[in-house]
Amino acid sequence: MDKNNAKIMREADRFLKRTKEYKARREEGCVENYTIEIVLKKSNVVKNNNLPKVVVAAACEDMELTLHPCEGSVFSNVVPYSLDDDFLRALERGYEIVNISMWGHHFIWHELSTQEVEPTSHPKGMQMYLGYCKRNGITIEKLRASCEYEGADIMPLYDGKTKPTPSDRKHCGDVCR
């Protein structure tokens, strides 16, 4: 992971741990707490601390948060995180993947593999994500080994035409945590 993405991850983690939701779970002595699942950045929009605009999806059991660390905002998701509207559309609108946990990949693969007709209403975003998986070694075997993924292999949906983002070119050999 390049230095800028590592800095974004540190800032996102610090911001998450300062949220009232995270603190409440810790104070209650809960075994599980929120973890960062997906981090996206928009490099051409620089915010405070000289960081790009960042969106973070965090989850804990069946609860979800969307964080905007640079703006200092936190949203508890009443409606579950939407693969199409929250993730794939963001990729189509110029956001780049900073990091996705293996459980985040599990969620995305499951959602894409269980669609009945069309996998998504954002095919370009889906191709961008699948290209990221290809370049970073995210495979069905890796998902099965790391988080007991039992769904279908979605890599056959990849058309191979999507170009890497500048962020991907900097850390192509880096595999998500």
Within-domain flag for 137? yes
Looking at 81, 111, 136, which one is the last position of a domain? 81
Within-domain flag for 5? yes
DSSP state of 176: P
- Does one domain contain both 20 and 67? yes
Q: For 23-33, write each residue's pLDDT tens digit.
A: 999 999 888 89
Considering its fold, how many domains does the chain have in total?
2
- Does one domain contain both 9 and 66? yes
- Nearest 5°: phi and psi at 95? -75, 150
Q: 64 is in which domain, residue-wise?
A: 1-81
- Does one domain contain both 69 and 108? no
Residue whose C-alpha is closest to residue 16's, from 62, 60, 74, 71: 74
Q: Percentage of the chain with pLDDT > 90?
A: 56
Q: For 96-132, write each residue's pLDDT tens digit.
A: 999 999 999 999 999 999 876 576 789 999 999 999 9
- Does one domain contain both 128 and 55? no
Asked if 91 and 162 count as a contact pair (C-beta separation under 8 A), the reply is: no
- Does one domain contain both 62 and 115? no
Looking at 81, 114, 145, which one is the last position of a domain? 81
